[in-house]
Amino acid sequence: MTDDYLLMKVSVKSNHVETVEAAMLNSGALSCTYQDATDTPIHEPAPGTTPLWPDVIVTGVFDPSADKDIIELLLRAEIQEVISGEITSELLKDKDWVRAWMDDFKPVEITSKLWVVPTFCEAPDESAINIVMDPGLAFGSGTHPTTHLCLRWLARQDLQNKLVIDYGCGSGILAVAAARLGAANVYAFDIDPQALLATAENAERNGVADKIAICHSDRELPAGVDVLVANILLAPLLELQSRFKALLSDQGKLGVSGVLSEQIATLAAAYATQFRHSETEIREQWAMYTALKQGVITT
């Protein structure tokens, strides 16, 4: 059995991705991957969605014995009209593929005492709280600015024996962090079944499965929690403000992210009727809004 793979790459607009993937698979591809063609940033996806960049490179992975010239002819016969550029090919060793993927991910320092560490890396500081988290299908591995903002915010809270909700949990990184930072119980909710599976697996991997309740419905979330964190997008955040208020205790703290810095004024204006703004933090072009219920006095 060989360790080589033949890669065939095609650049297309995002609305043609499925057409190109189908053509790749029809031509004998073992699998396909998507990659940003122009380094265009996108929001972390809302639960249940898979957004794409405007311009996408679709890579088909073929057996190395496949004839690249024949594959190119087959592809051109099917998708010539949607191709943005040339069809390129290269031969790649499996071990190089794995190493290239692993090299893209390093331990991420959130604070001096909180790190996110991939399973294939050594923890830089064994005395710190090290969240073991690999990149996967569900978003949230500590590298995106919004995830980083939420983790830093959680690290600043007194979570000892507190009840926490991670609303739109994705990979479960925030739920795991809250549990590792001392929360008594964390309720993780997402509408995406893949996200709930990832959260359960990551909770088990980090030894906090007994502290994290996987909630398949919003109705399973308890009212009166101490902290609620949500790293989603502006539109659902605007729709959920009343629900967040109902879930929090009178002294509860709210932290929401997933919005661009230019969107924060819209979010703050909408939340002002029910929440008392505490702080806005910016990282790169992203923002995090934190608040208390309207009328609650900080100490």
The confidence band for 137, taking pLDDT boundaries of 50, 70 and 90, is very low
In this structure, are 29 and 153 located in the same domain?
no
Q: What is the pLDDT of residue 54?
A: 83
Q: What is the pLDDT of residue 41?
A: 54
Report pTM: 0.70
Number of CB atoms found within 10 A of residue 32's CB = 18
Question: What is the residue type of 269?
Answer: A
> How would you list the strands of the sheet with 114-117, edge to edge?
108-111, 114-117, 129-132
In this structure, are 11 and 69 located in the same domain?
yes
CATH of the domain at 96: 3.30.70.260
In this structure, are 283 and 160 located in the same domain?
yes
Task: Tell me what the pLDDT averaged over the chain comes to.
Answer: 87
3-state secondary structure of 15: helix
Residue 115 in any domain: the answer is no
State how many domains the chain has.
2
Among 46, 80, 102, residue at a domain's last position: 102
What's the burial of 178, exposed, middle or buried (CB within 10 Å: 0-12/13-18/19+)? buried
What b-and-e string marks burial along 39-59, b requiring 16 or more CB atoms within 10 Å of the CB? eeeebbbbbeeeeebebbbbb
Does position 261 have pLDDT exceeding 80, yes or no?
yes
With CA atoms as reference, report the closest residue to 254 among 217, 285, 297, 225: 225
Residue 22 in any domain: the answer is yes
Does position 281 have pLDDT exceeding 60, yes or no?
yes
pLDDT tens, position by position, 224-242: 999 999 999 899 999 999 9
In this structure, are 56 and 8 located in the same domain?
yes
Q: Which residues contact 178 (CB under 8 A, 6 or more apart)?
A: 154, 159, 164, 166, 186, 227, 229
Q: What is the pLDDT of residue 176?
A: 97
Percentage of residues in the chain with pLDDT exceeding 90? 66
Percentage of residues in the chain with pLDDT exceeding 70? 86
Residue 276 in any domain: the answer is yes
Residue 39 in any domain: the answer is yes
In this structure, are 148 and 51 located in the same domain?
no
Q: Which of 110-124, 181-195, 231-245 has the lowest mean pLDDT?
A: 110-124
In this structure, are 71 and 176 located in the same domain?
no
Residue 264 in any domain: the answer is yes
Residue identified by tokens 């992203």 is: 286
Which comes out higher in pLDDT, residue 206 or 103?
206
Range of the structural domain that residue 282 is part of = 137-293
In this structure, are 97 and 148 located in the same domain?
no
User: How many Cα atoms sit within 13 Å of 127 on the Cβ side?
Assistant: 1
Would you list the DSSP string of 75-123? HHHHHGGG--S--EEEEEEHHHHHHHHHHT---EEEETTEEEE-TTS--
In this structure, are 175 and 250 located in the same domain?
yes
Among 102, 119, 152, residue at a domain's last position: 102
Residue 200 in any domain: the answer is yes
Q: What is the pLDDT of residue 159?
A: 97
Among 102, 122, 155, residue at a domain's last position: 102
In this structure, are 193 and 64 located in the same domain?
no
Residue 152 in any domain: the answer is yes
In this structure, are 248 and 203 located in the same domain?
yes
The confidence band for 251, taking pLDDT boundaries of 50, 70 and 90, is confident
Q: Which of 76-85, 88-97, 106-115 has the lowest mean pLDDT?
A: 88-97
Q: What is the pLDDT of residue 37?
A: 76
In this structure, are 196 and 141 located in the same domain?
yes
In this structure, are 163 and 254 located in the same domain?
yes
Q: What is the pLDDT of residue 86?
A: 87
Does position 1 have pLDDT exceeding 50, yes or no?
no
CATH of the domain at 264: 3.40.50.150
Does position 142 have pLDDT exceeding 80, yes or no?
no
φ/ψ bin of 28: left (φ > 0), alpha (ψ from -120 to 50), beta (otherwise):
left
Residue 117 in any domain: the answer is no
